[in-house]
Structure 1
Amino acid sequence: MMKRVLTLEAAKSVAAAAEAFADSHGFKVVIAIVDDGGHLLYLQREHDVQFGSVQTAIGKAYSAVAFKRPTVEWEGRFKEGRYGYLTMPGLTGLQGGVPLVIGGEVVGGIGVSGVASQDDERIAKAGADLLLTLSEGSRA
């Protein structure tokens, strides 16, 4: 069995799709892409986005790949009062982190920060959806 990996080229395509979505809505954000080990592969920051969003975006991407689920799931648990999850190492429990999947395998994560969390999530999903579309096309 061959291990699937997220290439730099694919990471840039994911970021471009996320950026296109953000631009179409007038959002200025930071977009971070990590590999399957949570290591930063690609980062871009729009002009004038607060620098605090850099580490937040990286944290969201890391959490998405480390726990193999969108970070929105953690936010829901916090709203239920399940604060024990806050002690989990490496967890950023804010919307805007989405796993990147190729052929059903998590190969990385995208994290977005800079606007309202629900909009960060929509932007991240736009990038993740592009990779999913690309991987489905390559199977045909």
Structure 2
Amino acid sequence: MSRPPSYGAPITLAEAARVMAAAQAEAERYDWPMAIAVVGSGGHLVMLHALDDVQHASVPVAQAKAQTAVNFRRPSKLFEDAVRDGGLGLRLLGMDNLLPLDGGLPLYKDGKVIGAIGVSGMQSTQDAQVAAAGAAVFNGAM
């Protein structure tokens, strides 16, 4: 496994707003009630949108997905896959600082992790689709 990229300066509010706008537009295109969280490279919340009719539980889940992606500098799906595969991957369930569900993606600028986006509200694949739309602002096309 290759070494993950280094941390950079935290995402700015203006940058987070661009990420949020792209993710929110994707959710609204399908009329999906979502919670969307953007955190900085230190793991602290920069922006949170709870779209209309989102279930209350999705708000902390979106934040946890974003924090997982930034804290480990990897997509949260990698942890979901490890748990799904069983074996040693099941050890992840004993960790209280990660959420092994798809929908959390690191955000990169100049090759460094500047933050992450986390999305919750629908199925994990739909959460991941909305997160990818937001992350594409920095990470390239979906």
Same fold, judged at TM 0.5 (above)? yes
The Cα offsets for residues 60-112 of structure 1, whole Å up to 9 and x where unpaired, read as 00000000110111111111112101222310110100001101100101000
Distance 2:133 2:26 in 1: 7
Q: Is contact 1:99-1:128 (8 Å) kept?
A: yes
| Residue aligning to 1:65 | 70
Q: CA RMSD in A?
A: 1.1
Structure 1 residues 1-140: aligned runs within 5 Å: 3-81=8-86, 82-133=89-140
Distance in structure 2 (CA, Å) of the matches to 1:102 and 1:132: 8
Q: Whole-Å Cα distance in 2 between the matches of residues 89 and 108 of structure 1?
A: 20
Residues 4 and 102, structure 1, Cα contact 8 Å, conserved in 2:
no
Secondary structure of 1:9's counterpart equals: helix
SS of equivalent residue, structure 1 residue 77: helix
Stretches of structure 2 lacking an aligned partner (at least 5 in a row): 1-7
Preserved contact between residue 71 and residue 95 of structure 1 (Cα < 8 Å): yes
1:28 is displaced (CA, Å) by 1.3
Partners of 2:20 and 2:59 in 1: CA distance: 14
**TM-score, normalization: structure 2?**
0.88
Task: Give the total of aligned pairs.
Answer: 131
Cα distance in 2 for partners of 1:16, 1:47 equals 15
Task: Decide whether the 8 Å contact of 1:32 with 1:40 is kept in 2.
Answer: yes
TM-score (norm 1): 0.89
In the alignment, the residues of structure 2 paired with residue 85 and residue 49 of structure 1 have an alpha-carbon distance, to the nearest angstrom, of: 28
Unmatched segments (≥5 aa) in structure 1: 134-140
Amino acid at match of 1:118: T
Q: Is contact 2:9-2:41 (8 Å) kept?
A: no
Distance in 1 of aligned mates of 2:137 and 2:25: 11
